[in-house]
């Protein structure tokens, strides 16, 4: 059931909070993507998340809190964590911290750490407060498919038996930055809207795990990074290089795909649309506004599938600011099918 939230619908939040307390799952909006939420202390409900998503058991969940005190009950906060929380919460930053053992193993996949964030979304915060417990919530998509940035995306993956709080389109559009704070030098495990530069401004040096390579050294830095992710059903190729050569390569690949009987789609910035003539183009946004590209990325991938496209040719955006996170997701969606020209 989709419950549309506006200012007059706080009873919907109370209803969802009651469902959480009764051990049920609720899809909630956040500023990044929609989450599939359960009471983080309820082992059975947490197991239900893994079952519904088809999520591998060794991939831990992020716990969502409504305040720093709630987070401090779950994990050990040192001074750096404290300063980051002050600066970036509520917001798209997940901190991996030493667990105090309050959340069950099902949430942390048996690790001695726990990933925590305070979302910058009034509906999510109100839900956590009303439920009175922290909420374990992965993105509310079937494992492997693009994350949902609208209630309709959630419903298309899970149907409408699920209680879905609909607060419209997510503002950020890509998942939170995940930073492992338990290391001497903190390390970004998953890039997001909070960038390395932004983090370093607050507490000094931060490393970044290899964001653009399928080959992690040894064990994947974040357990979730080893699975094929964010992928549309269509095959996908990323083309990167100088603007003119990228357009030439994409046109060549498009026409080749068309001859093979594929239904190709170009994804390109609005400034470059004219290069592609009468070919089908979905505009990713503007090269001047990578936040806009992040916001529309997952919807574009889902829409391409829905419209029956079988091949996506994606024009890379600069790996600057949030573009770094966008390209991290795009590479994964394309299963590292990259053409450099």
| Strand, helix or coil for residue 270 | helix
* Residue 176 interacts with, from ligand TXA, Mg ion, none (CB under 5-8 Å by kind): ligand TXA
Q: Which of 19, 85, 96, 325 binds ligand TXA (CB under 6 A)?
A: 96
**Is 114 a residue that touches ligand TXA (CB under 6 A)?**
yes
Q: What's the burial of 96, exposed, middle or buried (CB within 10 Å: 0-12/13-18/19+)?
A: buried
Q: Which of 39, 139, 195, 284 binds ligand TXA (CB under 6 A)?
A: 139
Q: Which of 209, 223, 219 is nearest to 328 (CA)?
A: 209
The structure tokens 């389109």 sit at 169
Q: Which of 189, 246, 297, 300 binds ligand TXA (CB under 6 A)?
A: 189
Helices (H), 89-172: 105-108, 122-131, 151-158
CA–CA gap between residue 124 and residue 64 (Å, rounded): 9
Site mask for ligand TXA (CB under 6 A), range 25-64, x = bound: -----x-xx-x-----------------------xxxx--
Nearer to Mg ion, 39 or 143 (CB): 143
Tell me the closest approach of the beta carbon of residue 154 to Mg ion, in angstroms: 12
State which of positions 119-158 bind Mg ion (CB under 5 A).
139
Nearer to ligand TXA, 94 or 311 (CB): 94
**Is 178 a residue that touches ligand TXA (CB under 6 A)?**
yes
Q: Which of 134, 194, 140 is nearest to 162 (CA)?
A: 140
Q: Which of 84, 190, 295, 302 binds ligand TXA (CB under 6 A)?
A: 190
Q: Which of 39, 34, 20 is nearest to 172 (CA)?
A: 34
């Amino acid at each position: 059931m989709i419950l549309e939230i506006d200012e007059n619908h706080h009873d919907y939040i109370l209803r969802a909070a009651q469902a959480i307390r009764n051990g049920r799952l609720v899809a909630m909006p956040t500023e990044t993507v929609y989450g599939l939420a359960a009471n983080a202390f309820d082992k059975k409900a947490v197991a239900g998340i893994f079952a519904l998503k088809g999520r591998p058991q060794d991939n831990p969940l992020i716990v969502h809190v409504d305040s720093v005190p709630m987070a401090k009950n779950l994990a050990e906060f040192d001074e750096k964590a404290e300063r980051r929380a002050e600066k970036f919460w509520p917001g798209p930053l997940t901190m991996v911290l030493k667990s105090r053992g309050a959340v069950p193993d099902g949430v942390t996949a048996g690790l001695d750490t726990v990933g925590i964030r305070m979302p910058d979304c009034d509906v999510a915060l109100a839900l956590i407060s009303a439920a009175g417990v922290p909420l374990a919530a992965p993105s509310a998509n079937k494992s492997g498919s693009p994350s949902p940035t609208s209630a309709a995306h959630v419903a298309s993956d899970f149907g409408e038996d699920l209680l879905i709080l609909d607060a419209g389109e997510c503002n950020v559009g890509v998942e939170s930055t995940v930073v492992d704070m338990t290391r001497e030098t903190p390390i970004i495990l998953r890039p997001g809207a909070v960038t390395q530069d932004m983090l370093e401004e607050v507490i000094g040096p931060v490393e970044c795990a290899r964001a653009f390579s399928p080959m992690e050294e040894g064990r994947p830095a974040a357990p979730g990074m080893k699975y094929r992710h964010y992928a549309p059903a269509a095959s996908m190729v990323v083309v990167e290089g100088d603007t003119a050569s990228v357009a030439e390569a994409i046109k060549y690949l498009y026409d080749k795909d068309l001859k093979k009987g594929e239904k190709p789609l170009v994804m390109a910035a609005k400034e470059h649309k004219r290069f592609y003539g009468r070919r089908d183009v979905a505009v990713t946004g503007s090269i001047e506004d990578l936040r806009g590209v992040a916001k529309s990325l997952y919807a574009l991938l889902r829409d391409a599938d829905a419209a029956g496209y079988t091949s996506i040719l994606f024009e890379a955006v600069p790996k600057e600011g949030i573009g770094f996170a966008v390209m991290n997701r795009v590479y994964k969606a394309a299963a590292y099918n990259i053409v450099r020209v």
